[in-house]
Each structure stands twice: as structure tokens, then as C-alpha cells.
Amino acid sequence: MEKAPSAARAVTSAVSKESLILLAICLVDALLSIVLLATGLAEEANPLMARCLDHSFAAFYLVKMASVVPALVAAELYRRHNPVFIRRLLRGAIVAYITLYFSLLFIVNFA
């Protein structure tokens, strides 16, 4: 007799691991940004995000997530038609996000 799939397994089969990784990276980036900004250890360089911060941390977080989640939803919808392309696209986005994040971190703090 087969076991019923767990809720976690159902979510991961419905959403690609690449989308989950990219979402996790974005969540960590947003939360780390909020902590660093709240403690005065960083300043927001993006003018749009700086305006959101003038309003509240919640507005900052919502705008940051609103810039990522729709793209991930679109990728997941298109993945049904072309999974290889979307997997490569999302893996490229993961590499680009991490590379850009650490490059800017280095430039701002050590250059």
C-alpha cells in the first residue's frame, strides 16, 4: 500500500526547488536589509526602496516581495510548458542575485 504524499512533498512538487531557493534568498535579503537599516549599519541606496522606508519597514518589505513574487508565479506557470528553460532561467537568476548581492556588499563596504 502506498503512503499518501506529505504536505511538504506536495508543495515542492507543485513549486520548483529553484523558485523556493530564489524566494528564500529574497526573504533573507529583505529581512537582513531591515535589520541592518534598523540598527543603522546600512543605508538604502535604491531611491524607490528608500521612499518605502520613509513610510515603514512593512512597506519596504511588501514592495521588495511584490517585485519578486509575481515573477516567480509567472515562471511557475510557464514551467508547465517549458520546464528546462525555466529551470535554467531560475538557476541563472539565483547565480545573478547572489553575485550581485555580494559584489555590491563588497563595493559598498570595502571599496
Instruction: Give the separation between CA 104 and CA 81, rounded to whole angstroms.
Output: 35
pLDDT in tens, 43-97: 887 889 989 999 999 999 999 999 999 999 999 999 999 999 999 999 999 999 9
Split at pLDDT 50, 70, 90, the class of 12 is very low
Instruction: Give the separation between CA 28 and CA 17, rounded to whole angstroms.
Output: 16
Instruction: Give the separation between CA 16 and CA 94, rounded to whole angstroms.
Output: 13
Q: Say which residue the cell 519597514 belongs to.
A: 57
Q: Which residue has the higher pLDDT, 11 or 106?
A: 106
- Does this model's pTM top 0.85? My answer is no
**In the chain, domain spans:** 19-110
CA nearest neighbour of 19 among 73, 56, 100: 73
> Apex CA 54: angle with CA 101 and CA 105, to 5°?
15
